[in-house]
Structure 1
Amino acid sequence: MAPKRLPKVFLVRHGETEWSLNGRHTGTSDIPLTKNGEKMISILGPKVAGPGKLIDPTLLSGVMISPRIRAQKTFELLFASSEIKPELHIDERVREWTYGDYEGLLVHEVAEIRRKKGLPSGENGWDIWVDGCEGGESVQQMSDRADEAVKAVKEIHRAWFEDPSRNDNDKGGDVLIVSHGHFSRIFLARWLGLSLDRGQLFVLDPGGVCVGQYYHDLKHTAVGAMNLGVL
């Protein structure tokens, strides 16, 4: 029997919203996609999602979608033109960073709040990668949650890879995540075994697709592609 291919995780950031355009921190707020955001995903879908394409629904063994409507709509539009559509599974582990008191605010607005309170801050007055969010998730809490998601993906990968009764034609094994900007960057960092703050090294644009994969075996993680399909 031919060697089994190594499974992948596809990380998709939702399409454009009003708050992603103006830089407001959007965690728990259910902000919909803009018309342009819907358009960008409608264009992306036929390119990357469907049988025989990058995100092949016949190869998916797991789907993890953020509970926010902007992520769910992105998932729906992504497979709108595909004759095979995977089932939507909401997963709280892949929701955006809970910004708490900073929800809906711009960076300089958060910095001013922290300055008035005498709170420590980074070079720009607030460094979320170091300071976390008052009333929301701390850096450690966010790192722990991303680790839960990474662990879940790896467990799906390993269960499929080690299954002695593999499906015909080696089908299955891949995982799809549709999430948000900060979460996606943190997921990539933790996928590679890097500290949360190293997420600053990655940029995932609205409507972008990243690919997490392995090299040689399931012990060695890698990033295979960044921001595929971005207009």
Structure 2
Amino acid sequence: MADAEALTPRVFIARHGETEWAKNGRHTGKTDIELTPYGIKQVHTSAKELVGAKKLLDPARLAHVFVSPRIRAQQTFHLLFEGANSVPDESVTVTEDIAEWDYGDYEGLKTAEIHALRKSRGLDAERPWSIWKDGSEGGESPEQIAERLDRLIAQIRDIQRPAMKGEKAADVVVVAHGHILRVFAKRWLNCPVDLPVDMVLPPGGIGILSYKNNNVNEPAIQIGIALPVTD
């Protein structure tokens, strides 16, 4: 079983490193903000420890990389895959399907400020606001988020379906943002956007999704990692 699991295609979800707005708790959707120097170090550390030949994320096993068009995600992608770990241009797709949630009227606001704004508009009399249930005024709804993520997941499944037992390199990397990657994980499991489960993916962090039983119809989350065995 261990050998079969090692051959099952994986999806690595990589969150961009720290930005000033993220550090301050401000909702950052379409605003283009670069990584802080510390954010660059976060990604460098992840790349050094996890990316490379015979490491957890081996570029030789990659079939494709999907990247958000926002500059913070672009920087993160290039930091992860620079030098000997670079990937061919034809294996990289920059797509709005994995861009961060469009926060609309809430762009740049902290959570407490969003609650105050909504209260001033007569909203949330029965329960507190939840991005997962209510979305953003002037921005995207949970249904819109699910639609674009489901479209991306379908592309990934098409890439990985012919290689469920290691027939060819089929790992995929998705480089994006905190909120959208948490929804991506829920939709990967065919769960609703408002599934009441807390997920944490720190800036510069990398998570892993895969499948049970080498079956494309049994998507799963890897809750632990086994590092590659080297001689």
Q: Which TM-score tier does this pair reach, normalised by the shorter chain? A: 0.7 to 0.9
What amino acid is aligned across from residue 154 of structure 1 in structure 2?
Answer: R
Cα distance in 1 between the residues matched to 2:203 and 2:197 = 16
- 1:121 deviates by 6.2
Change (3 A) 1:14 1:227: farther
SS at structure 2 position matched to 1:218: coil
For structure 2, list consecutive stretches of 5 or more residues without a partner in the other structure.
227-231
Q: Which residue matches 1:165?
A: none
Q: Distance in 2 between matches of 1:225 and 1:145?
A: 25
Aligned partner of 2:20 among 18, 36, 48:
18
Does structure 2 retain, via aligned residues, the 8 Å contact 1:205–1:227?
no
Please tell me the residue identity of whatever aligns with 2:86.
Answer: K
The answer to whether the 8 A contact 2:182-2:199 is kept is yes
Q: Which residue of 2 aligns with 1:223?
A: 221
2: distance between equivalents of 1:227 and 1:181? 21
Quote the residue 1:84 is aligned against: 85
> Helix, strand or coil for the counterpart of 1:54?
coil
Q: Distance in 2 between matches of 1:144 and 1:62?
A: 21
- TM-score, normalised to structure 2's length? 0.87
- Describe the SS at the equivalent of 2:86: coil
Counting only pairs closer than 5 Å after superposition, residues 148-187 of structure 1 correspond to structure 2 as 148-161=151-164, 170-187=167-184
Q: Give runs of ≥4 in structure 1 deviating > 4 Å.
A: none
Counterpart of 2:98 (choices 94, 100, 105) is 94
> Among the aligned pairs, what percent are the same residue?
41
> More deviation in 84-93 or 218-227?
218-227
Q: Distance in 2 between matches of 1:78 and 1:122?
A: 44
Which residue does the alignment assign to 2:110? 106
Higher relative CO (Cα under 8 Å, sequence separation at least 6) belongs to 2
Q: CA deviation at 1:107?
A: 1.0
Instruction: Give the letter aligned to residue 215 of structure 1.
Output: K
RMSD: 2.3
Deviation, structure 1 residue 130: 1.2
For normalisation by structure 1, the TM-score amounts to 0.87
Identify the residue that residue 71 of structure 2 maps to in structure 1. Answer: 69
Task: Report the CA distance shift for 1:84/1:170 in structure 2 as closer, same or farther (over 3 A).
Answer: farther
The alignment status of 1:145 with 2:148, answered yes or no, reads yes
SS of 2:94's equivalent in the other structure is coil
Alpha-carbon distance, 1:227 to partner: 10
1:198 alignment partner in structure 2: 195
1:194: how far off? Answer: 1.1
Structure 1: distance between partners of 2:71 and 2:54: 28
User: Match for residue 229 of structure 2?
Assistant: none
Structure 1: 5+ residue stretches without partners: 163-168
Count of residue pairs brought into register by the alignment: 219
